[in-house]
Structure 1
Amino acid sequence: MSKLEGNERWKSKMLLTEHQEQYDDRKTIKKTGQPTPDELTMIRDYVLLPHMMTIVQKSIDDIGRSPNTLKRLYSATAQVILNRLSKDSLDLRRELSRRNIRIMSDEQVDLIVYHRFICRGYEDRLGIVREVMRAEINVRLARYIVEIGELIQGNPQKDDRKSTV
């Protein structure tokens, strides 16, 4: 018989169900190592950023070969975007490493690109449809372009953009 069994005060202690659910969710995530929704977003960003960098680099190369008189401006702007993408990619890589998440090779089946990842011992794969990937890249590049446009115009907003980290 423990000291608490005879104590009637312990019978009245209650735990709200929402708190119990939060505790159970936290415990199962730690046990299984499954990624949180934020971590899945980070994994998706990690997959998208190299594609975005390739697109911007191709644009820089194309601009360099064009006879356009403003090609220096376009090239410099694209280079700033490429530098930001590189910085975001490096920050994201560091954060994933800090959280013990590794992303492995990719494979394409039909129109879906799969990336294997290991998150604290939990192994799974993330699949992204190519069309969704293309649309997401366009949206993200548009955000970067708007930011650079605001800087050029002299209207820098507070850094309100959603961080990838």
Structure 2
Amino acid sequence: MQRAESQDNLLVKSYILLPLIISAFERDASVMSSELRTPAPYLLVIQSAVHAATADLREVRAGMRARGLRVYEQQRLEIGVEAKFVCRGYHERMLLLDDVIAAQATLHMRSYLGMEKRIAIW
């Protein structure tokens, strides 16, 4: 049986992580706008990060289409997120543990905020 290649797995992982990162930025922006006295500069930085993450998500989706990948089920479990996907006709499964999600999301969020050198999403 043919297995998904590492590039395929990175695309699926990014497909799972990016919406979580975007949601975290949006949630943080909401909190900042109500709690800070002058939220505008901070919200601009977060808004820029959301736009960059959204652009990356578009690229990931295009890459998935080009490689014949399709996630058909995502499920939140106690220990993380499970995704089931089709890779060129073969059904695969990926489990991302909460610790891995938190670590990867932090790295990418710091990158989107300009705190670290930009890292490739896939």
Choose from 94, 98, 102 the match for 1:126. 94
| Length-normalised TM-score, structure 1 | 0.68
Q: Which residue, out of 55, 64, 76, partners 2:33?
A: 64
Q: Structure 1: which 5+ runs fail to align?
A: 1-30, 150-159
- Partner residue in 1 for 2:121: 164
| Structure with the bigger percentage of strand | 2
Q: Percent identity?
A: 18
Q: Does 1:110 align with 2:66?
A: no
- How much does 1:108 deviate? 3.3
**Any gaps of 5 or more consecutive residues in structure 2?**
none
3-state secondary structure, aligned to 2:113: helix
Aligned partner of residue 22 in structure 2, secondary structure: helix
**Residue in 1 that maps onto 2:9:** 40
Q: CA deviation at 1:35?
A: 1.7
> C-alpha displacement at 1:84, in angstroms?
0.3
Structure with larger RCO (C-alpha < 8 A, sep 6+): 2
* CA shift digits 1:42-76 (9 cap, x unpaired): 1101100000000000111112112422x100001
Residue identity in the other structure for 2:112: Y
1:9-158 aligned within 5 A: 32=2, 34-69=3-38, 71-146=39-114
Runs of at least 4 residues off by over 4 Å: none
